[in-house]
Amino acid sequence: MLTPNIDLKNKTILVTGAAGFIGANLVLELLRTVEPVTVIGLDNMNDYYDVSIKEYRLTEIVQEAAKHSASKWEFVKGSLADKALVDGLFQKYGFAVVVNLAAQAGVRYSITNPDVYIESNIIGFYNILEACRNYPVEHLVYASSSSVYGSNKKVPYATEDKVDNPVSLYAATKKSNELFAHAYSKLYNIPSTGLRFFTVYGPAGRPDMAYFGFTNKLREGKTIQIFNFGNCQRDFTYVDDIVTGVKHVMCNAPEKKIGEDGLPIPPYRVYNIGNNSPENLLDFVDILQQELIAAGVLPVDYDFEAHKELVPMQPGDVPVTFADTSDLERDFGFKPSTSLREGLRRFAKWYKEFYMA
């Protein structure tokens, strides 16, 4: 077990992608559990998916922040690719901890819209690294992705595995983030930790994710396509478990050490955050429709079998994701634990309230 070396109290923290799924939930957790704290959120509020969900998340944050008078929440609308904006924020606030969750997400979208991935995931991350170099921080935590494992055959995926075979541009940008961070850690002694997230789901999640898209289509009476003829497995990880993992990591910056050559040993780590329990996509969809019926999103007599179609694999997809989380357990005594049924139950209840109330 690592001994925490950063106390988040009285610190100023930057969360990029603050209106995003993981970002908003992290901000809520920080406001609820760390007091006093100053959280600055940055997000460009793009319309890759329904902006009303991002606005809903920000409203939730404002309501939570109002309950904590000793803490401060401030939202900045802007792009990571705007170097002057990023530098200005670092200069103004002197961030102690930076959590970079802003990124253009989505594997399939990267096949048809590569430009936005280079702008956000490469140029944007470079701007964050440069700002951390010029305005030193105690810890940079950034989102990587399980997609970096690409076409690897060995499961579960371990952080020491080779990740040289990305099967999408999105995956390649995430791998490049890890390489950039390692170089900056070595050159400028910036403590950084990368987090490879595995298929995050939950209330107010991303509508481009399969479980959300399935729900929309089932509710509309459309047929859902289940890829790889239902033989895909995903390490579905509930958003609260992801946030707990991120918070543990934030408080534990890699130590700065000097090597025999007199130069820094890179203060750099990477962790998987996944459920360590892959679920078959067919089983996942079956539990989802059960919980949607229980929540009143679908009628009791819904004919699920008539609304599903088994189809081949999509370009950029992989047949299985499976996280080895032993490093996370060793260093923090933490392992994601929310069951798939419980997580989907909470999603179904939220969906009913958000779309059907």
How far apart (Å, rounded) are the C-alpha atoms in residues 41 and 71? 14
* 292 assigned to some structural domain: no
pLDDT in single tens digits along all 357 residues of the chain: 999 999 999 999 999 999 999 999 999 999 999 999 999 999 999 999 999 999 999 999 999 999 999 999 999 999 999 999 999 999 999 999 999 999 888 778 888 889 999 999 999 999 999 999 999 999 999 999 999 998 888 889 999 999 998 888 999 999 999 999 999 999 999 999 999 999 999 999 999 898 999 999 999 999 998 888 777 888 899 999 999 999 999 999 999 999 888 888 999 999 999 988 888 888 999 999 999 999 999 999 999 889 988 888 777 667 778 899 999 999 999 999 899 999 999 999 999 999 987
- In this prediction, residue 67 carries a pLDDT of 97
Quote the domain boundaries for residue 265: 12-200+237-276+323-337
Domain with residue 94: its CATH number is 3.40.50.720
Spell out the long-range contacts of 112-117 with Cβ–Cβ below 8 A and sequence spacing 24 or more: 114/169, 116/46, 116/48, 117/169, 117/170, 117/173
How far apart (Å, rounded) are the C-alpha atoms in residues 25 and 47? 19
* 286 assigned to some structural domain: no
How far apart (Å, rounded) are the C-alpha atoms in residues 201 and 199? 7
Q: What is the pTM of this model?
A: 0.94
- In this prediction, residue 21 carries a pLDDT of 97
- In this prediction, residue 268 carries a pLDDT of 97
Residue 144 near residue 194, CB atoms below 8 Å? yes
Which among 109, 126, 157, 170 is annotated as catalytic? 170
* 251 assigned to some structural domain: yes
* 345 assigned to some structural domain: no
Supply angle C-alpha 79, 80, 81, rounded to 5.
Answer: 85
Number of structural domains, the chain? Answer: 1
* 294 assigned to some structural domain: no
* 63 assigned to some structural domain: yes
- In this prediction, residue 231 carries a pLDDT of 79
* 342 assigned to some structural domain: no
Cβ-count burial of 262 within 10 angstroms (0-12 exposed, 13-18 middle, 19+ buried)? exposed
* 53 assigned to some structural domain: yes
Based on the residue annotation, tell me whether 170 is a catalytic residue of this protein. Answer: yes
The answer for 204, left when phi > 0, alpha when psi is -120 to 50, beta otherwise, is: left
Residue 240 near residue 200, CB atoms below 8 Å? no
